[in-house]
Amino acid sequence: MNIVDLHDPTRVNKSPDDVEVLFSSGNFIQDEFKISRVELRLYCERTDEKLGIFSLITSFVETDKGSVEMIYDEGFRGDQSLLRAVQFLTSNLGISGLILRSVISLRGTK
C-alpha cells in the first residue's frame, strides 16, 4: 500500500528535484512496522521574481507494510531549503516524529 497524503497528490506525480536520505538501514521497528527508508524530497514548483523558488518538501517513509509520502514544509524558503530541513530534523529528534506520523497514517488506511 502506497499512500500520498497530500490535498493534491498530482503535486508529486514527477521525480523530485532533490532527495536527502535520512535513514536507510532497514533495522528500525516502530510498533509492528519495520522501517526501511526515510527521505525528505524537494519539489520546486514555481519561481517568483522577488521571492525565489516555491519549494514543496515532503517526507517519504517506506515500511514493510507500505509507504507514505506527506507534506513536511512548503513555501518560499530560499536556497538550500532541503538541507536546512534535514539539519533541523536530525538535530531535534524530528525523525522519530516523522516516522510515527507515517505509521499512524498507514494504520488508518487498513
**d(Cα 81, Cα 63) in Å, to the nearest integer?**
26
- Helix axes 81-91 and 94-107, enclosed angle (nearest 10): 90
Contact indicator for 53, 76 with CB cutoff of 8 Å: yes
Each residue's pLDDT tens digit, 3-16 = 888 888 889 999 99
Q: What one-letter code names the amino acid at 83? A: L
Q: What pLDDT is stored for residue 50 in this prediction?
A: 94
- Direct distance between the N- and C-terminal alpha carbons of the chain, in angstroms, rounded to an integer: 9
Reported as a pLDDT band with limits 50, 70 and 90, residue 30 is confident
Which residues span the domain enclosing 55? 2-107
pLDDT value for 96: 86
- Residue-wise pLDDT for 37-50, tens only, equals 999 999 999 999 99
| Alpha helical stretches, state H, the chain | 81-91, 94-107
Residue 57: which pLDDT band, with cuts at 50, 70 and 90?
very high
Greater pLDDT, 28 or 49 = 49
Residue 38's pLDDT is what?
Answer: 94
What is the C-alpha to C-alpha distance for residues 67 and 103, in angstroms, rounded to an integer? 9
- How many structural domains compose the chain? 1
Reported as a pLDDT band with limits 50, 70 and 90, residue 81 is very high
